[in-house]
Amino acid sequence: MPPRLVWRRLSLENEIKQIMYDINKVRADFPILSREVYNRPLVYLDNAATTQKPLCVLDAMREEYLNVNANVHRGVHYLSQRATDLHEAARERVRNFLNAEKTEDIIFTRGTTESINLVAASFCEEFMHEGDEVIVSAMEHHSNIVPWQLQAAKRGIAIKVVPMNEKGELLLDEYEALFSERTRIVSVAHVSNVLGTVNPVKEMVRIAHEHGVPVLVDGAQSAPHTAIDVRDLDCDFFAFSGHKIYGPTGIGVLYGKESWLDRMPPYQGGGEMIESVSFERTVFEKLPFKFEAGTPDYVATHGLATALDYVTELGMDNIARHERELTEYCVRRMKEIPGMRLFGTAGDKDAVVSFLVGDIHHLDMGTLLDRLGIAVRTGHHCAQPVMQRFGVQGMVRASFALYTTNDEIDALVEGIRRVSQMF
């Protein structure tokens, strides 16, 4: 075959791989999306809080409870062995999803919040002393502020904050200027849950590493929306939650480089995380089990793995493209509404639009949209410093997922217009 024809054939194959998924078929996997509230079709736009679950996730968990339910790692009987296989297969699935080097780098937690608390407590115990510093950003979720404040109260460490501009973009020059000989760790959101800003974490990791400082990336709002490669990011820790990526609640992940995890003490003590126990001393288990005390939610890990298979099959690049187009479309339509004030106008933005309209209180807007069947989030979004930065008490937030449609964006815009006319 002539070279030109070979190239053309390869190009067509690549185009086929990039064909968007059928949104109607996808929505059929989520029965809740077809229900009504207040006799109106549900328009679910609160995906940054939690995503809906496809039938395959619910079926996988039901099947395990019905046919494979037994505690993992402990039994020699068939059910225990089978449950253990599913649990550890889930760990491998997460490793692959993140492109981590080893399954030993994957720790199961209850969610992003626990993952960050684990790092804060354990890292500070081993590596931080009074006067040492942690760098966070001005757009952090409370889950990436309060754990460090708890450590500050306990150990006397200092918290430094990377400022942001009016667009909701971090100021990298000022970020770099925050480093000192006492900086021990950086902990930063990959994507803002309020502003939708996609932070340049790869560059932030590079800068931190030039100063010999590790980086924890809060991936709660990035993992559901774009492909994650922890080796490419070169981050030292990465955290995300199952329920925000179409999986069950109560399960999360902490990725950590073995070089750090090996030196950090256990976060909790009890079953599973020990090699041997006597009243004189305890020998801890090897990674990752050193950080997994007690019975894990082994059914939820299977559900998480099924969710990751689901999004992988659709293609993370397809999901990212779909949601970016939705976000751009929503912003364009929002700007048509008189009195609209948008928050978070960074050039690199994804899956979240936060707003206020005129003098309408965010709670009033959210409550009245709800009566129209439109589910949005109102309040401070667990990011009160962001609210203070923009001089507001709260915002309305619409957040998107792989199943969100342009028609739902249109319904939101029409709903906002209707509510606005009431004031």
How many DSSP H helices and E strands does the chain contain? 15, 17
Distance of CA 171 to the CA centre of its chain: 22
Q: Which contiguous run of DSSP H or E holds residue 216?
A: strand 215-218
Do residues 294 and 268 lie in contact, with contact meaning Cβ atoms separated by under 8 Å?
A: yes
Q: Please say if 382 is a catalytic residue.
A: yes
Using CA atoms, how far apart are residues 124 and 126, in angstroms rounded to an integer?
5
Maximum CA pair distance of the chain?
Answer: 75
The β-bridge partners of 378 are 396
Instruction: Dig out the tokens for 220 from the structure.
Output: 């709660």
The angle that helices 406-420 and 362-371 make with each other, rounded to 10 degrees, is 120
- Of 56, 235, 330, 382, which residue is the catalytic one? 382
Using CA atoms, how far apart are residues 195 and 182, in angstroms rounded to an integer?
30
Using CA atoms, how far apart are residues 395 and 378, in angstroms rounded to an integer?
6
Number of CB atoms found within 10 A of residue 241's CB? 29
Using CA atoms, how far apart are residues 146 and 143, in angstroms rounded to an integer?
6
Active site residues: 382
